[in-house]
């Protein structure tokens, strides 16, 4: 049974590693990130997108220098899924992004998409453990 587990684990690890794309991993929360000079990528900041203060930016995967290639962020937070979902839904609405479909968060997961012009952000929030959530944000241009 153990030898078959690697069939599933190896592809998952490659996917998390960005499949060979330019990957930057940052740990230690905002305070450590600021000390190291780490911040949200320029493509994300240019769009003036929300930066959730109750999460640590743990991984930045950029596929290229423009939004056509996109940027993927992974954050971790101790806040619950519903709180995180409400924050992003409210903040994105305030800055003019729309949601083509309104989704309802559960206790353990949430997925949605925001759109503005020819750009979109796909977001998922998933419970990792009983007290930790992972937030994935993918920003791209159509």
| Residue 92 counted as domain residue | yes
Torsion of CA 104, 105, 110, 115, to 10 degrees: 40
Please report which confidence band the pLDDT of residue 7 belongs to, taking 50, 70 and 90 as the band edges.
very low
Smallest Cα–Cα separation from 33: which of 55, 2, 62, 6?
A: 55
Spatial separation of the C-alpha atoms in residues 119 and 67, rounded to whole Å: 8
| Residue 11 counted as domain residue | no
pLDDT of residue 38: 58
| Residue 5 counted as domain residue | no
| Residue 125 counted as domain residue | yes
Domain span at residue 27?
Answer: 21-141
| Residue 2 counted as domain residue | no
Structurally, the chain folds into a number of domains equal to 1
Judging by DSSP bridges, how do beta strands 132-141 and 55-62 pair with one another?
Answer: unpaired
pLDDT of residue 3: 42
Average pLDDT, the chain: 79
| Residue 49 counted as domain residue | yes
Give, for 116, the enclosing helix (H) or strand (E). Answer: strand 109-116
* Domain containing residue 87: CATH number: 3.30.310
Residue 2 in this model has a pLDDT that exceeds 70? no
Q: Are 109 and 128 in contact (CB under 8 A)?
A: no
| Residue 98 counted as domain residue | yes
| Residue 8 counted as domain residue | no
pLDDT of residue 71: 94
């Amino acid at each position: 049974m153990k030898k078959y587990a690697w069939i599933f684990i190896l592809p998952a690890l490659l996917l998390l590693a960005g499949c060979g794309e330019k990957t930057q991993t940052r740990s230690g929360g905002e305070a450590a990130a600021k000390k190291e000079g780490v911040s949200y990528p320029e493509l994300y900041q240019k769009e003036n997108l929300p930066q959730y203060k109750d999460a640590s930016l743990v991984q930045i995967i950029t596929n290229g220098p423009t939004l056509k290639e996109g940027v993927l962020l992974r954050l971790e937070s101790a806040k619950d899924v519903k709180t995180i979902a409400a924050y992003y839904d409210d903040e994105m609405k305030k800055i003019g992004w729309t949601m083509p479909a309104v989704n309802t968060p559960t206790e353990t997961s949430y997925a949605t998409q925001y759109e503005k012009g020819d750009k979109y952000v796909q977001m998922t929030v998933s419970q990792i453990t009983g007290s930790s959530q992972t937030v994935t944000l993918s920003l791209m241009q159509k």
